[in-house]
């Protein structure tokens, strides 16, 4: 079987030394990039002298940009200007941005940024789960429009300490409850690789912005696949960490009953690892936290994973249908792993017998609906009024009303189901180091397939058809990642998912680093309207 796309070869380029004042105009960063990241496929030196598109900016990951700042070759102000220009140029096509924070970003630079590993790097925050002091966050909902927080969340405070420049917030579906990013309040977020296709959800705005090269990475959260789904749709690397690896506080001790975790979507594996290094670890008052990791995740990216034993699982119940291109992509990933010395065993049938998937999916629904109802009731208390008919989208309103039927005993039953699944997974992974699935059962779907303006049952059916394999890692709490190794025949990204043992992000980073080196994806980028392939 031929690979769905050939490995990308990095072009060999040469360039004069950087002049910081003209790097945006002349695109002369290739010499510095050679030591930071492989040279881009398209040389920016071909840009006209009066260009201000900053093509070289797009070729660097976050750590690469930070190195340019540290070496004095660019300033944080220049990086921010380049990111804003890219946002203004591309967002009209993809609708990834919920709000902009340019004045706050410039003020943070003027006041002096911490000298962290991402010093001066522009960064985007998902418009839910990442509270900023006195900055509105709408959660993709009319009901939450204008809502602010009196303080930064723990994760946001750690982003600031890492030197990141927070300059905009990204779109989400209402309350983050869809694997697509479509809402009445925010409109449709489009996939840069196909504007008629979803960018995924619920972190679709973040993924679309990173894929469109507005930034090299952006924050994301995952309660059923919401990091991995949009990363797969948009050709990015997406890691869902172990449960409670990154604190969710200070206002909450867990989200969606412990199903949801925080992290990011990135273009490179090393950015994801370095970002986890600066955000991981318990905060005072946390009820529980992930097993501590003594080293640095960034160091793991460069280490060999050894010879891994990989369980290949084509899909999980009740889904039996996987699009042939998604299945072929996973099979090609399995073959790539074998070529790297790993052992891959098809465990689909045996794996499906390890878990009560029907009970787990019902438990997921109960947990999410009750969490949604609690969030909405808290907002209504803030507003001091009852719920109005136009506050929520139809499916969200149905979920809100239906959740009133659940009892405390049922909630505890759901938690018990997750704990039982976690123990079953631990037993299964005594034999296998990681589990390989297709991240999604279909390539990025067309808009309107899964939306909150239709019927609740259509949403449930659509989710089962689109994302049968992502939620298990949320139920068990284990880390899982999607790796952007393939594309469909029409150029749509297709990811492959790997799940590691509970607390073992290190093995995933080692494997991801190996795969990234064996089949590089860094130079693969969409061509948006009014942007040439070189830009």
Residue among 108, 138, 153, 226 flagged as catalytic = 226
CA atoms lying within 13 Å on the CB side of residue 294: 0
Alpha helices (H) along 485-532 = 505-518
Annotation says 302 is catalytic: no
CA distances for 241 relative to 56, 263, 460, 498, angstroms: 31, 7, 25, 12
Distance CA 87, CA 99 (A): 11
Stated as kind and residue range, the H or E segment containing 409 is helix 408-428
Task: Tell me the DSSP string of 412-423.
Answer: HHHHHHHHHHHH
**Is 82 noted as a catalytic residue in this protein?**
no
Assess whether 202 carries a catalytic annotation: yes
Please return the burial class of 16, using the count of CB atoms within 10 Å of its CB with bins 0-12, 13-18 and 19+. Answer: exposed
**SS3 per-residue string spanning 120-186:** CCEEEEECCCCCCECCCCCCCCCCCCCCCECCCCHHHHHHHHCCCEEEEEECCCHHHCCCCCEECCC
Helix (H, G, I), strand (E, B) or coil at 486: strand
Contact 509, 488 (CB under 8 A): no
Q: 15, 82, 108, 126: which is the annotated catalytic residue?
A: 126
- Of the listed 43, 153, 202, 488, which one is catalytic? 202
Instruction: Extract long-range pairs of 361-365: CB within 8 Å, 24+ residues apart.
Output: 361/464, 361/471, 363/413, 363/414, 363/417, 363/418, 363/475, 364/224, 364/259, 364/414, 364/471, 364/474, 364/475, 365/460
> DSSP code of 281?
S
Count the alpha carbons within 13 Å of 438 in the hemisphere toward its beta carbon: 32
Closest CA to 496 of 259, 238, 113: 238
Residues assigned a catalytic role: 126, 202, 226
């Amino acid at each position: 079987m031929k690979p769905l796309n050939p490995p990308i070869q990095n072009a060999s380029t040469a360039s004069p030394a950087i002049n910081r004042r003209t790097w945006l105009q002349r695109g002369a960063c290739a010499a510095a990039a050679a030591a930071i990241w492989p040279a881009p496929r398209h040389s920016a030196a071909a840009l006209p002298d009066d260009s201000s598109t900053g093509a070289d900016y797009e070729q660097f990951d976050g750590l690469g940009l930070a190195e340019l700042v540290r070496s004095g070759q660019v300033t944080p102000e220049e990086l921010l200007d380049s990111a804003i220009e890219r946002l203004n140029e591309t967002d009209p096509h993809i609708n990834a941005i919920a709000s902009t924070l340019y004045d706050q970003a410039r003020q943070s630079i003027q006041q002096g940024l911490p000298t962290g590993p991402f010093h001066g790097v522009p960064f985007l925050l998902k418009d839910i789960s990442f509270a900023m002091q006195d900055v509105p966050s709408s959660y993709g909902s009319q009901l939450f429009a204008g809502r602010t927080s009196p303080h930064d969340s723990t994760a946001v405070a750690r982003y600031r300490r890492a030197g990141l420049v927070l300059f905009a917030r990204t779109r989400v579906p209402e309350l983050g409850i869809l694997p697509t990013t479509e809402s009445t309040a925010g409109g449709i977020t489009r996939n840069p690789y196909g504007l008629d296709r979803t960018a995924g959800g619920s972190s679709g705005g973040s993924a679309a912005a990173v894929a469109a090269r507005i930034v090299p990475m952006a924050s994301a959260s995952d309660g059923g696949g919401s990091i991995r789904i949009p990363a797969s749709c948009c050709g990015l690397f997406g890691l869902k960490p172990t449960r409670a690896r990154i604190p969710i506080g200070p206002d909450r001790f867990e989200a969606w009953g412990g199903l949801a975790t925080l992290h990011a979507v990135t273009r490179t594996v090393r950015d994801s690892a370095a970002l986890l290094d600066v955000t991981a670890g318990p905060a005072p008052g946390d009820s529980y936290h992930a097993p501590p990791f003594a080293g640095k995740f960034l160091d793991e990216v460069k280490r060999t994973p050894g010879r891994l034993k990989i369980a290949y699982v084509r899909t999980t119940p009740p889904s039996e249908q996987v699009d042939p291109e998604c299945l072929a992509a996973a099979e090609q990933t399995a073959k790539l792993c074998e070529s790297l010395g790993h052992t891959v065993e098809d465990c689909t049938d045996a794996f499906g017998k390890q878990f009560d998937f029907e009970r787990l999916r019902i438990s997921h629904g109960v947990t999410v609906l009750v969490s949604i109802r609690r969030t909405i009731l808290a907002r209504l208390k803030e507003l001091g009024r009852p719920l109005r008919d136009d506050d929520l989208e139809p499916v969200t309103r149905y979920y809100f009303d239906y959740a009133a039927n659940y009892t405390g005993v049922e909630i505890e039953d759901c938690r018990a189901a997750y704990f039982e699944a976690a123990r079953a997974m631990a037993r299964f992974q005594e034999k296998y180091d990681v589990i390989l699935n297709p991240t999604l059962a279909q390539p990025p779907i067309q808009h309107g397939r899964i939306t909150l303006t239709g019927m609740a049952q259509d949403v449930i059916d659509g989710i089962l058809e689109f994302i049968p394999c992502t939620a298990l890692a949320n139920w068990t709490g284990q880390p899982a990642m999607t790796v952007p190794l393939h594309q469909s025949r029409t150029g749509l990204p297709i990811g492959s998912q790997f799940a590691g043992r509970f607390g073992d992000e290190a093995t995933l980073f080692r494997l991801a680093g190996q795969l990234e080196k064996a089949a590089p994806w860094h130079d693969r980028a969409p061509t948006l309207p009014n942007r040439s392939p070189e830009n």
